[in-house]
Amino acid sequence: DAGVIQSPRHEVTEMGQEVTLRCKPISGHNSLFWYRQTMMRGLELLIYFNNNVPIDDSGMPEDRFSAKMPNASFSTLKIQPSEPRDSAVYFCASLGPAYEQYFGPGTRLTVT
Amino acid sequence: AQSVTQPDIHITVSEGASLELRCNYSYGATPYLFWYVQSPGQGLQLLLKYFSGDTLVQGIKGFEAEFKRSQSSFNLRKPSVHWSDAAEYFCALRGGNYQLIWGAGTKLIIKP
């Protein structure tokens, strides 16, 4: 298996622009998690899906952030409009059979 | 309350020396516990997991961890570290709804 796939790996954008991050989980995994990692706050859970349904989005910072999972093999995290404080590494992870999470390589977002 | 504590923010060891990274947890029932490693600029990789059975768990890259219920600990060990082991190590506990409760991480520095 190719593992969890994320794109793009790096994104540089200007404040106010829309940013879309993409994730393809491991085939057969039914739960998907979006995280954000910064030096200041460490690893934060933003939202997670089970069987394509959002279960807990309490970690989403504000209405500028939205996430979707239209099918079992694809999810997006969108930021609109982006702000410099959104600069971080965003990870997607999918849940294995023993409750372990498998992480993608991350998307490094820089908002200038 | 469910929590994970990694008391050491940084640890420095010499190459070839043994390593032990500490992890303490708080959980009411039998925990599912995990260790992850994050190399600079990379995603998080699962090293090993425990949820039942033998309390000494073997993982990848020569790591092992021992679950001690009486001490609420799940310490990670390696008999001889290599320079490539320099990374940040995270201990995690499965919480409700399949979410992981993360420790703050321990940064491992290897002295030549």
| Residue A54 β-bridge partners | A49
List chain B residues with CB under 8 Å of A98.
32, 49, 51
Contact B45, B36 (CB under 8 A): yes
Per-residue confidence (pLDDT) for residue B112, from 0 to 100: 86
Tokens of B14: 């010499």
Q: What is the pLDDT along chain A (112 residues), one digit of tens a residue?
A: 689 999 999 999 999 999 999 999 999 999 999 999 998 998 999 999 999 999 999 999 889 999 999 999 999 999 999 999 999 999 999 999 888 999 999 999 999 9
- Is it the case that residue B96 has pLDDT exceeding 80? no
Q: How confident is the model over B66-83, as pLDDT tens digits?
A: 999 999 999 999 999 999
Helices of type H across chain A: none
Is there a contact between B42 and A105 if contact means CB atoms under 8 Å apart? yes
Total CB pairs under 8 A between chain A and B: 48
**CA B87 vs CA A49, A64, B63: distances in Å:** 29, 33, 13
Per-residue confidence (pLDDT) for residue B53, from 0 to 100: 84
Q: How confident is the model over B8-53, as pLDDT tens digits?
A: 999 999 999 999 999 999 987 889 999 999 998 889 999 999 988 8
- Is it the case that residue B58 has pLDDT exceeding 70? yes
Burial zone of B81 (CB within 10 Å; 0-12 exposed, 13-18 middle, 19+ buried): buried
Is there a contact between A106 and B49 if contact means CB atoms under 8 Å apart? no
Per-residue confidence (pLDDT) for residue A1, from 0 to 100: 66
What's the one-letter identity of residue B79? P
